[in-house]
Amino acid sequence: MPKKPDVKDYIRTIVDFPHEGIMFRDVTTLFADPRGFRMAIDQMLHPYAGEQIDKVVGLEARGFILGGAIAHQLSVGFVPIRKKGKLPGTTISQEYKLEYGEAIVEIHDDAIKPGEKILVVDDLLATGGTAGAGIKLIERLGGDIVSCAFIVDLPELGGRKLLESMGMDVHVLCEFEGL
């Protein structure tokens, strides 16, 4: 009997992108396939059936695609966390470290009300830098983070451990070894 496809089967690996030695996990092939995309959204939603969630927060940029679809399915609002300078209203910002340098993400200062239950969503968890910065922004606004959901975890880079050390529940659909 043929193996039933899973989310990992829809993700392609591009060798040496964006730099030599990197195995880039490309979720655009998953997004482009209607069956794969629906499977990913359904599996990302499943752990939260019956949970109170007020808003979904998506991390730039592929987290917007997933977060919008998940917010729609949950009938809740969607909030983007963007790179510095991309949001038009009054924002708060959080700096975080990258492999080479630093970056800043922002959220509108009125996007989350104190006590709202938040689900954080992105495509891939690597070092946890972006997600960690997003969590800090949400917490500064008084949001109560229910969980963080990702399609892919790269466990060797330690992002899951970082988020769990921050007290976060982390849900991932699949893992890939290597960088």
Annotated catalytic residues are 62, 99
Distance (Å, rounded) from C-alpha 165 to C-alpha 107? 23
- Which pair of structure tokens corresponds to residue 126? 């690597």
Structure tokens at 18: 């964006």
- DSSP assignment string, 14-70: EET-SSTT-EEEETHHHHHSHHHHHHHHHHHHGGGTT----EEEEETTHHHHHHHHH
Q: Is the dihedral of CA 55, 59, 64, 66 positive or negative?
A: negative
Nearest alpha carbon to residue 98 among 65, 63, 133, 69? 133
Dist CA 138 CA 145 (whole Å): 8
